[in-house]
Amino acid sequence: MPKFEYKWISPVSFSCEGLSKILREVLDELGYVFKRDQVEKYYDKVYVVVPLFRLAYAFRFIVEEPSKFTVDLYDTQPTHSSVMPYMEIDSVTDENLNDIQSMLKLVVEKLPRKPWTFTKGQRLMHGALMPEFRKSKKAWERIGVKTK
């Protein structure tokens, strides 16, 4: 029977450097077997009406046990003066969903505020009506983390 896989992606309100330290602590605390890697992620930035492809340095965590999945943390630059951090998990399946949920719940507990809660300064810097602010909370709810 084929398994259903999807990619989970969410904007987060913390820099990827700080979040990578917390994620490493959480993976160690949970006893997950993982290794770290350095990769570059492609993303697009729209300038007027032309999409420009950009590269972002990504902190990659390749979790091998208790189940296999990959977590990427990277910063995009949607405007010339702002940085939008993202957390991305490739290949979320029924087999690894519980392990991913327990990891994300512990990450949320260790952060000083919820990763889907952006400060007023961040909202003004990115543009107060940017859809990423709503997408973030919905993404965390979709993966099974309570946002209320």
pLDDT tens profile 17-57: 999 999 999 999 999 999 999 888 877 665 656 666 777 88
6-143: CATH, from 1.20.140, 3.30.2010, 3.30.310, 3.40.720: 3.30.310
Q: How much is the pLDDT for 44?
A: 65
User: Which H helix or E strand runs over 1?
Assistant: none
Q: How much is the pLDDT for 21?
A: 94
How many degrees, rounded to 5, is the angle at CA 141 between CA 99 and CA 79?
Answer: 105
Q: DSSP 3-state assignment of 128?
A: coil
What is the CB neighbour count within 10 angstroms for residue 104?
22
On the question of pLDDT at 132 being above 90, the answer is no
Domain range summary for the chain, segments of one domain joined by +: 6-143
Radius of gyration of the chain (CA): 15
Report if pTM > 0.75.
yes
Position with higher pLDDT, 106 vs 51:
106
Q: How much is the pLDDT for 35?
A: 94
Residue 111 identity (one-letter amino acid): L
* DSSP-assigned states of every residue in 98-121: HHHHHHHHHHHHHSSS-TT---HH
What is the CB neighbour count within 10 angstroms for residue 84?
23
Residues 93-113 have a mean pLDDT of 93
Residue 131 identity (one-letter amino acid): P
Q: How much is the pLDDT for 1?
A: 41
